[in-house]
Amino acid sequence: MDLSQEDWVSKLNADENAVILDVRSEEEVEDGYIPLAQNIDIRQGQGFIDGLQALDASKNYYVYCRSGARSAQACQIMNQMGFDTTYNLLGGILDWQGETVTP
């Protein structure tokens, strides 16, 4: 499900079963990421699938990338793999107004 930043943040803050998932490349993550985000690069192909398979599919995933396109694709893949709840951040980290941290 695509959510605006405002809706994404309000759902995330109220969700005790939430996991933030950053699907950008390692290089992009080095420019800054949303606190507590796990990173699995969608461009890794089978590595991305393997990373997803290691996650708990019963949790709620708040997914983002640079602009929202790759994260939308990641949500589709995750839903096909049996993940119940995925939320795509529209506009990605480019439009993000909240806190970021750098590694």
Span 29-84, pLDDT tens digits: 999 999 999 999 999 999 999 999 999 999 999 999 999 999 999 999 999 999 99
What pLDDT is attached to residue 21? 98
CA distances from 9 to 36, 90, 94, 97 (A): 13, 11, 15, 10
* Residue-by-residue DSSP string for 66-82: SSSHHHHHHHHHHHHTT
- Structure tokens that stand for 33 in this block: 């990421």
Q: What is the model's pTM?
A: 0.97
Cβ-count burial of 15 within 10 angstroms (0-12 exposed, 13-18 middle, 19+ buried)? Answer: middle
pLDDT band at 102 (very low <50, low <70, confident <90, very high): very high
The SS3 assignment for 62 reads strand
- Structure tokens that stand for 5 in this block: 């930043």
75 belongs to the catalytic site: no
Q: Annotated catalytic residue: which of 12, 20, 65, 89?
A: 65
CATH code 3.90.226.10 for 2-94: no
